[in-house]
Amino acid sequence: MTIRALLLALPLLLAGWFATLLAVAVLSHQAPAYVVLFPGSDLLSSLPADVAVLSATGFSVTLTAERPGLARALYRQGAWVVLPAGLRGCLPMPRL
């Protein structure tokens, strides 16, 4: 593989991974929490009562709720990017 092919493949790989995370957040209800990137100033004040804030920084907010469809609700409230948080992944976890 040449450097030129690698420079083309790497951004495509990252874009595919990001698109997969976006799809998992909207189509699946398996994530225990969601990370909202670049939340608007009014997002936290407009959250439903059953949504809990796990952490907040200057560029992200991690939220959780017991009800399904939280990612879609966050998009309806104006979130730009909602990613799943806390998923175990594809590989089995080692037993300690």
Whether residue 81 has pLDDT greater than 70? yes
Sorted by where each begins, the domain ranges of the chain are: 3-85
Whether residue 41 has pLDDT greater than 90? no
Whether residue 6 has pLDDT greater than 90? no
pLDDT band at 93 (very low <50, low <70, confident <90, very high): low
d(CA 35, CA 50): 16
Assessment of whether the complete model's pTM goes beyond 0.85: no
Other CB atoms within 10 A of residue 64 CB: 16
For residue 42, give every residue at least 6 positions away whose Cβ sits within 8 Å of its Cβ, in sequence order, or none. Answer: 78
